[in-house]
Each structure stands twice: as C-alpha cells, then as structure tokens.
Amino acid sequence: KIDWGGLKLGEGVNMSTELASQEEYMEDKHALDDALRGLEGHRVEAQARWNTRRQDVAEQERLVLEELRSCFVVAVREAIRKRIDAILDDKQFLRDIDALVGCLTALQTHVGEGSSVLVDVLARVKSRVNELQSDSEIQNLIEAKNYAKLLSNLETLCVMKPALEGWVALDIINIQTKTTRHVSFLLKQAGDELQSGVEHPTFLVFTAVQDFVRLTPLLEKRFPGEMEAAMHDLIQMADSAIRKCVAQAKEMLEIARADGMTTGAEETVARMLIKGYAVAVELGVTDQYQKWMETGLLNQMESKSQHLVGIAIKLKSEDSNASVASAANGILAMFPAFKTFRTEQFNAKAGGVTFPTALEKMKCMPTRPSNDNLVTVFGAYDEVYSAEVDKIVHGLKDYSEDALRKRVAHLVKKLAPHVEELNQHCLVFGQLFALVASAWTYLSCLGKGDFQERKSVLQPHNTQILGVCRLLGLDEAALENHLIQINTGEGKSVALGFTAVLLALLGFSVDAVCYSKFLSERDYQDFEQVFRFFEVEDFVSYSDFDGLASSILKSGVHVPNIREKFVQFLRGDNVLKSLSVSGDAMPLKSSAAKLGDAALAYAKKLIKSPPLPPPILENRRRVLLLDEVDVFFSDAFYGDQPYLPSELLHDADGGSIAGYNLLFHVWQLNKSKKNSVADLREHTLTKQLLIEFPNLAFLLEAELHRILDSVSKFPADTTKLPDFKTGEEDAYTIDAARSNVVYTDPRTGVPSEKLSYGYVTAFTYFYECDRGKFPPATFREAGQSSSKIGVLPVCGALSYSEIPRLYAFALGMTGTLDCLTEKQDALLKEYFFERRTFLPSTFRKKSLNAGRGGDAKETKVVRRKTVRGKLEGEMEDYFDVLKDEMLEELKKGRAVLIVFADLKRLQHFNLELHRSPPDFPSYSPPQLLTDQLENEERKSVVLKAFRPYTVTLMTKSYGRGTDFVCLSSGLISDGGAHVIITFFPEDDSEEKQILGRTCRQDDPGSARKIIFEDDLEPLGASERLWSAQNLPWDAYLAQCRAATHEKRMAQMDAAHEKVMARHNATLKACEAAEQRQWEEAARLFKEASLKSPAVQGVEDDEESSDSD
C-alpha cells in the first residue's frame, strides 16, 4: 500500500516510527518481514536502472531505499522490545513464557547474538524475573500471608528457569530456601498450637493450622511426598492433642463433680470442643473428631454437664473472633447433645410466621374452597401437640411410647374408612397429625438429656403443617393428585416424611421418589426412626426413579417381571435340557451328569409365575410421593432414555461361565483385531450358549454386533486410551479393593457402583486388568464365573413416564412450581396435577441481591478478544472477568460459589487460578466440589464453603439439594455467599435451584451470571443479535431459551412416542412368552430392544442389571 517511488528522503524514518507504534504491527512480525523482502527486491531493481537513469536520481532512490530498510529493521526491533516489555510489565510469566522465548529468538535473529540491544533486553528480563524472589517481595508476601502469590512466584520461577536456559541464568535458591523454611516454621507453629494447654491464653488461636492447610494444596505439586507426610504428621498431632483434651476434660469434670463446682469445668470443656472442631474441619477429619468426642467424652457425661457445656458453647457462638464463633455454631449443629441449642436458634427464626399468616399468604390453583377446615385442623393439632411436647420436655424419661401408639391406633381406626374424605374429619386428623409430630419430636430428644424446653426441641413449623394438610386434601372435597411449592432450604423433606407416615398409617403403601439416590437415602434415614416407631417401614420406600422402576419390575404387580419372562423366552422349550458340548473351548463346570436336583430346582425357578405381592400389601393402594417435579421434564422420564432392564445370562448352576468365556475370547482376539460376527456365530462358545438358551438365536446377530461394537472402542495396545464418544463411558474410577469400575451417573453427577454400560463396561474390566489396575487373576482367566462379565442382552424398554399412572394418587413437593413453561404445565396436567399450592416462606426471607445496585447483578456476556477484525485467543479474557468478580466479593469478606456446567470447564478455570492467582492476601486456592470426591471429602468441602474469604468451584449437579449452612455471623453481616453462574441454565427451575444455594432461610446472599459468548451458541444467541434487541441480557437469553425449549419439548414428544411403542412391545412380548409363543415373543423383544443404545443401567444384584 506504500508508494515507494514517491517517497522522499527522511519520510522513511517517520513512517517506520509510526508503524512501530501500532500494536498490530508489533504483533505481526511476518508482515514486517514481508515488507523487508519487498524492499530488497525493489533495491535490486533500482540498481539495474542505475545505468540508464541519471546518477543523481538513482543515488537519491538508493538512499531512500537504504534508509527505509534501516528504519524497518529498527521498527521490527522496537516492536519486539515493546512486546517483551509488555510481557515483563504484565508479569503473567506462566501464561506468556512461550511468547517471551519467541520474542527473544526473533530479536536475536534481527540484531545478532552479541548485540548490545539483546544484552540489554536479557538484563531487563533477568531483573524483572528476579523481582519475584527479592528479599522484600518474599518478606512482604509472608507478612501479609499471601501464600497463593508466594507459591505462584515459586512455581513461575521453577518453570522459567529451564525455559530461559541459554538466555538467562536464573538462581532460584533464595525463594526455595525461604519458602521451605517458612513452611517448616508454620508446621512447627501449627504443632505448638495443637499441643498448647487449655489454660493458655492463646488456646483458641489456630491461625498457624489454618495457614498451613491453606499452603498444602499449593505445595503438593512441588513437594508431593513431603507435604503428604507433613499433613499426616499434623493429623497425628491433632489426634494426640484431641485425645489428651478428652482425658483432661474427663478428669476436670470428675474433680468438679466431686467438689460440687461445675461452671468453670464446663466452660473449659467447651473451649476444648471448639478448638478440636475447628482443627478437625481444617484437616478434613470431622467424622473422626465426632467419633472421638462422642464415645470418649460426651456419652460419658451427665446430662446436666452436657447442658452446661452447651450453654458455654452457645455463648462462644457469638464471639467476636469469627473462627471461634463459626466453630461453636458447627458444634451445636454436629452433636446430638447440643443440637437443642441449634434447634432453639432455628425455631426462633421459623417462629416469625404464624399459621394464620401462612394461611393468608398461601396461594392455590384453582382457588381453594371457602371453609375453615385448615383452621380447625390446626386448632386440634396445636392443642394436642402442645400438651404432648410439655410432657416430653418436663419428663422425657417418663413419656409413654405405648400410650402414644395406642392413641394413634385409635385415631387411625376412626379415619381408615374415610381416607379419601379427610375433610369431613378435621378434628380427628389434626389430633393424629399432632401425635405423629409428637413422636418425631420425642425421638429427636432421646439421648439429649433432661434439660429441654419447648423452644429448644425439634418441631414442625407452621408452613410444613399447612403444606401436609393441603397435600392430603383437608380443605378439599376429596384426595386428588396435588403439587405443593415449598422454598429451598425450608424443610421440604420433613413435610414429605410426615406425609409418608400419615398415608402409611391410613392404609396406603407409599413410594417416595427423588431424582437423586443419595438424597433419597439421606431423607429416609432422617425419618427412619419414625417409620419404625409406628411399624410402617414395610409400607414406605424411598428411591430414585431407577430404583423405583426396578422394584416395580421385581414385584410383578403393576407390570410383569420382564427379566423372568425374557429368560423364560430365551430358554424356550429346552429349559430342562442338560448341557453337553464338545469342542476345544473351555468346558463348562456343569454337565448333564452333574445337573441333578439343584439344576432342576433352578430351572423351575426360572419359569415360575411372577410372585404375588405380600398379603399385607394386597389391599393397600399405592401413593407416589414426588420430591421435585422437574424430573418430569427430563429426557430420561419423558424423552428418549427409557428404562432398559437387562439380564446377565446364567448357566444351569447359577454361574456365567459360558458368557464370560465368549467375551474373554473376543477380548483376546481384539488384540489382533480378528473378530467378526460370522466367526463368532459359528464358534463353540456361542453354540454352548444356544444349547442353554435356544431362543437366543432370534436375537443372536444383534447381540454379537453389540459385543463387537463395544470391543472396537478399545485399542489393541492397552497403553493407549479407548475411543469413547459420549464422554460418559470414560467417567469412571477404579475401586481395586472391591474389583469395581465405578461410574459417575450423568444425570445426578453422583458416583454409582450400580451403573454399567453393558459390554463396554465388561471390556473395561479386561482393559484395566491388562493395565494392572486389578489383580492379575481377577478378570484375565477364562473358565471362571463373574457377576460383572457375561452375555447381557437387553430385555426390552419401559418408559419412566408410565410410573405415575400405576398409582392411585401422586402427590409432590417442589421448590420450582412457579417456574414452569406452558408446555411443562400442560405435561403435568396430563398426569392430572390440576391442583397446585404455593406456600409462603417460613422465614423473614431476604431478597436475593438485596442491598446491591441493579447493575451489579445483571448478567454479563464476555466475548473473545478481537484482533484485526478476527476473534482470537481462548478464554483468558473471560476468566479474567470471573476473577475480577470473585475478587470484588472476596474483598468484602464474603464466600463465593462459582458454578460450572461441567467438570472440564471447572478444571480449566482452576488451572488458570493456579497460574495467575488474585493478588489479595486473604485469597486461598479454591475448594473443588465435584463427583471425584469421597463422601468425607465432600462433606468437608460443604462445611467449609460458607466461610469468609472462601472460594468453592462446583459443578451444576451440586446446585440442587446441597445444604450449604452459614455458621459465620461475620459472613452474614458482610452479605452472605455470592453465587457466580458461568452458563445460562436450561430452564427457570434449574436457575432457581442454583440460586437457592445462597440467601437461604433468612440469610442474605447475591448472585450473578457471567457467560462466555461461545457457550450461547446452543441457544442461537450472540452479542450481535442481542445488540439489535434493545433488551437486558437476561431477558434476551430467556427469549432464546424459550424458543430452544419449544424445540426440545417437541423432540421429546416425538421421542416419547417411539419409547412408548417399545414399552408396549415389551409388555406384549412378556404376554407372548407367558403363552410360549416363541416366534411372536422374539419379534416383539427384538422390536423393543434392537434400537437400545449400548448404555446399560443400574445393577440391582448379582443376577440382573438395569439400563440407564
């Protein structure tokens, strides 16, 4: 673009200076090199013209060209120097090390190896890099306890030393020595803190322990063995110190009891407990601490002493030292002996909303009948419950369990004939509810001493009582399907527990179902004592939808036992024939001569009719209790992911040798890639299976294809990784002790020992065994039986969506009933959920983002940086925005939860924080809440998440059902926890659940969405389209999500039709098998299962597995 011929002498200097100042030329060295090559060619051409043109003109042109060439060399050199200066000023060396080395190489090329310019630049590089380990820098970071920055400097220097070798000689011994010296000093200080006597004024100081724990994850990479050993030593010291405290406390209490003086001793014991708890949380050993304290101290204390210790701890919960106050609150929540004090705090919060107030604020669809039924129920409830609680708190030891049960039985007898018209018996129901609630309160008081007050015992709050009464139709004409909204963190599981007990007492069989197996088990355990107290545990089950579907199949009541019918079909008319096969394959352990009575009994078992339900359940109608309704809108429930029961085929003696041998044979041949369907079809091992299961021939071709498709994912060389397409089949860990491959459930994000991917999982066992992850003989030898590996055909397909239709009534509680789309609402109405109730909050709930400016909570979308009109780079700018938001909230003393759509993005951001941590003294590396954690680790992370200056990175599966509890008064006063969502949630329900992790009960909290623009592509959204809408980001993205949702629901409708066709084919196939119509059964089973994905499901026992 330059008119070279028109340039005059001197203009080249100005031009090159201007070019050197432009950022794009500084970054585009190739463009400068091209220009230089062009100039050189022009100079040669000018030389050729020299003989034909006047000497002065030629000389003038030559001078201009030489001057330009010289100036462009200077421009290139200056551009490189400016780029190097920018890198040195930015000090993001871990990120920019490759760019720095590239610039030094380019500079050397242009100016020469010994050039003074290069020497000067290298001196500046060395000086700037050494600033990271200057004495003043190290001392300042240590004094400010900015360990993240200190360790980041160390990591940077360790990376740069070899990277700059040949350019700059770096000596990093200074920072290494001082860092290790300070770590040793902190470890000694931590040990001194742990071993200090309770009488010492600094006994409740444990800052060195906290500092050392903050350092540990930063140092693990650099000194892995040493840090692990140091942490082990610290835990051992804590163990010794806590045991010493226990012995000392017992001695003090005995002396105080003997002398008749208790107050001082109990206060000292409280200090010991607080110190021990704080240290246990820091070291992640809270379960051990709880066990030590309960078995070694609290269980041996008199109830009066326990109560006095509790009072002392309660006083410390208001301590000005935030760490001490938080630990005291944690103890009150942890130990049953002290939970009365924590319960007292909760009751004070919940008591602010009376029953009349809750009734007035409640909203119903359709409008509820105009009657006083609920007031009547509550009046009867309150009268009886108050009387019973008075008996409990004033005479727990004398409280009669038998008398309570007899009164309940009497009331149940009255109500039993009218269970669907409870509205006609409000007084009796109110009394029954009160007695059930009294039992719950009574059981919660056991083991907590005699020092109880009404305000300090566990009791239902008014919105829970109101919700149960509405759910059971106390103010309606009859019991009907009904959904109730109750806010997150406000006792939904307790209300469902009461509903389950009352329904079971009134003659129903109750199945409570939740999207998460982990949460359903937790909720059952919370109410298990009550179920057993009233002896209704046989009539109440808690499970996820997979578990419920499996139990329905096993019962054979609502649908046939598909597995039994399928095996009956496979065996056909040869079910009693012996197995006698010749050939060179591994022989089966059973033979015709050995079958005898055992094999006959086994065969008869296989063809028996479905078992009748237990007589006690025969006349009980079933009620489905739903914990959250968003499960209705998932692909699993109403889309293309049916329940796929499968069956591991067993030999006559109950083993799976034939199937195991066949898969082992396929695995061995895979190493040479010589497998084929034709060869397998004719193989002796296959023929062995067909003798036992002759009708397998109808499905054999498809089954062999499944086997070969699965093994093809694995490389012949097991040092290489399998070719898994979904990203779910490789989400597993190895439990070598139990010889298990443990997958992460993609729907719940929770590790599940029962999840399987069929033949892929079978070959994963062989693969990992060959890699040395299992003992050599575990899965390497043919001729052995296995409960994990064998021929595993899919038995058909069942739609989860049909489960609610199997029940007399379906009732549910959810936190997201007000977030439904029009299509979701219509879908619920298909299941006759016409009746809806919206309960008010139990607490004086604060609004999310209260006290923050409107701009602070608006969604922000971050684009890639643009260079010369093109999008470049990865996610650095986006991560910088996330870090800025995080740092802004940390500086206020708040806790920050950052929620990611998947583990990969979380790990990417965590790595960026490691490379470039915020320069803030109170910053510590983030906690990670992911599915890779063990239960104890997960519990520790959740306990520590809501503490000042704490950052927790979590995947979105923990945005639902995770009970983060704020125990820090300092955090509450600073605004509570701040949630950053890094993706646009799939629907309003998911968003509400995630936002519900903060601002719980009456605590403050705030949230914001910060999204990378590339992640909006699935919504069809972009900044360009948004700018034309003149809408806030949230409103614009909600529009895009609504359009996407409509398409998704339409796809789900279409998929559901196909799933229902397979569902119906499965049921008809079972009927055909029952009638021994083998060809028809084969056609239907094939129709139901041939299109099944390779994903196999949840294993119920050693004989069967269910597909996902």
Report pLDDT for 451. Answer: 55
Report pLDDT for 33. Answer: 62
Task: Report how far residue 334's alpha carbon sits from residue 439's, in angstroms, rounded to the nearest whole number.
Answer: 22
Average pLDDT, the chain: 80
pLDDT by residue (tens digit) across 777-836?
666 555 555 677 889 898 888 888 888 888 999 999 998 888 888 888 888 888 889 999
Report pLDDT for 581. Answer: 35
> What stretch of H or E contains 533?
helix 517-533
Report pLDDT for 283. Answer: 79
pLDDT by residue (tens digit) across 425-454?
999 999 999 999 999 999 988 876 555 677
- Would you state the structure tokens that stand for residue 919, as one six-digit string? 């320069």
Q: Is 205 helix (H, G, I), strand (E, B) or coil?
A: coil
**Which amino acid is it at 367?**
T
Q: Which residues pair with 740 in a beta bridge?
A: 735
| Closest of 1053, 513, 1049, 517 to residue 820, by C-alpha | 1049
Task: Report how far residue 103's alpha carbon sits from residue 111's, in angstroms, rounded to the nearest whole number.
Answer: 12
Whether 585 shows a pLDDT value over 60: the answer reads no
Task: Report how far residue 463's alpha carbon sits from residue 473's, in angstroms, rounded to the nearest whole number.
Answer: 15
**Quick one: average pLDDT of 1040-1060?**
89
| Percent over 90 (pLDDT), the chain | 24
How far are the Cα atoms of 767, 768, 770, 778 from residue 719, in angstroms, in the given order?
Answer: 10, 10, 9, 19
**Beta strand pairing call for 751-752 and 740-744:** antiparallel
Q: Which has the minimum average pLDDT: 494-508, 551-565, 687-701, 846-860?
A: 846-860
Q: Which residues pair with 627 in a beta bridge?
A: 514, 813
pLDDT by residue (tens digit) across 871-914?
444 688 899 999 999 999 998 889 999 999 988 899 999 988 88
Whether 456 shows a pLDDT value over 50: the answer reads yes
**Quick one: average pLDDT of 605-618?**
37
Its pTM stands at: 0.70
pLDDT by residue (tens digit) across 162-208?
988 888 888 989 888 998 888 888 888 888 888 888 778 788 888 88
Long-range pairs, 1056-1061, Cβ under 8 A, ≥24: 1056/638, 1056/639, 1056/640, 1056/799, 1056/801, 1058/640, 1059/639, 1059/640, 1059/642, 1059/797, 1059/799, 1059/801, 1060/799, 1060/801, 1061/1087
Report pLDDT for 393. Answer: 86
| Percent over 70 (pLDDT), the chain | 82
Report pLDDT for 857. Answer: 67
Report pLDDT for 47. Answer: 62
What's the pLDDT band for 307 if we cut at 50, 70, 90?
Answer: confident
Report pLDDT for 598. Answer: 38
**Quick one: average pLDDT of 156-160?**
87
Whether 226 shows a pLDDT value over 70: the answer reads yes
Tokens 């990591």 correspond to 155
Report pLDDT for 728. Answer: 67
Report pLDDT for 187. Answer: 85
Report pLDDT for 724. Answer: 79
